[in-house]
């Protein structure tokens, strides 16, 4: 399995989710199954079926998170030595050439991406256009509304 880049913060988030799934969610669903079994006939027991479905979801998510963590290449942006280039984990200040709007994005892994928080997936069009750029460079991004041009104003590793 290929390695998956993830920031330190993203890895901690996945570890926290895994801990919660194993210590809170899994025991709760096991108790729900036991209670539903105690009610008797399982063939027409909707609570039992719902609890079994929930158990399947939880076990699948545990396996998925464990797989992602085992394949993760954890990158701490504060230790990256990229000498001003945009790389995975970098926080980039941009200016839209057409509107003058100022934007800030951090390039992160797939599981961490949240555009509302300024976290863009490494495989997104804007991240791919920015990788390797330096301050003063212009990145052209193919957006649904046409090509957008962004000037790189600053690159930080935080």
Domain containing 92 — which CATH number? Answer: 3.10.50.30
Regarding whether 28 and 47 lie in a shared domain, the answer is yes
Regarding whether 67 and 11 lie in a shared domain, the answer is yes
pLDDT bin (cut points 50, 70, 90) of residue 25 is very high
Regarding whether 52 and 98 lie in a shared domain, the answer is no
Residue 151 belongs to domain spanning: 77-156
Which pLDDT score is estimated for 53? Answer: 94
Total structural domains in the chain? 2
Regarding whether 105 and 90 lie in a shared domain, the answer is yes
Helical spans, DSSP H, in the chain:
8-20, 26-38, 46-71, 125-130
Regarding whether 85 and 71 lie in a shared domain, the answer is no
Regarding whether 146 and 128 lie in a shared domain, the answer is yes
Cβ neighbours of residue 52 closer than 8 Å, sequence gap 6 or more? 33
pTM of the full structure = 0.81
Regarding whether 55 and 89 lie in a shared domain, the answer is no
Cβ neighbours of residue 128 closer than 8 Å, sequence gap 6 or more? 122
Regarding whether 64 and 35 lie in a shared domain, the answer is yes
Q: Rounded CA gap, 63 and 125, in Å?
A: 29
Which pLDDT score is estimated for 81? Answer: 81
Regarding whether 107 and 66 lie in a shared domain, the answer is no
Which pLDDT score is estimated for 111? Answer: 87
The stretch 84-108 carries a mean pLDDT of: 94
CATH number for the domain that contains residue 23: 1.10.287.180
Regarding whether 88 and 70 lie in a shared domain, the answer is no
Residue 90 and residue 104 in contact, taking contact as beta carbons nearer than 8 Å: no
pLDDT bin (cut points 50, 70, 90) of residue 1 is low
The stretch 144-155 carries a mean pLDDT of: 91
142: enclosing H helix or E strand: strand 138-143
pLDDT bin (cut points 50, 70, 90) of residue 64 is very high
Regarding whether 150 and 82 lie in a shared domain, the answer is yes
Regarding whether 66 and 89 lie in a shared domain, the answer is no
């Amino acid at each position: 399995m290929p390695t998956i880049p993830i920031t330190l913060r993203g890895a901690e988030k996945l570890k926290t989710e895994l801990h919660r799934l194993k210590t809170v969610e899994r025991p709760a669903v096991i108790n729900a199954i036991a209670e539903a079994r105690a009610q008797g006939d399982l063939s027409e027991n909707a609570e039992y079926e719902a609890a079994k479905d929930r158990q399947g979801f939880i076990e699948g998510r545990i396996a998925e998170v464990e797989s992602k963590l085992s394949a993760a290449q954890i990158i701490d942006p504060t230790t990256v030595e990229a000498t001003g280039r945009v790389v995975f984990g970098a926080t980039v200040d941009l200016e839209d050439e057409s509107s003058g709007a100022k934007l800030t994005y951090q390039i992160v892994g797939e599981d961490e991406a949240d555009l509302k928080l300024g976290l863009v997936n490494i495989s997104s069009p804007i991240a791919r256009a920015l990788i390797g750029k330096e301050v003063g460079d212009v990145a052209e991004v193919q957006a649904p509304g046409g090509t957008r041009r962004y000037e790189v104003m600053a690159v930080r590793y935080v």
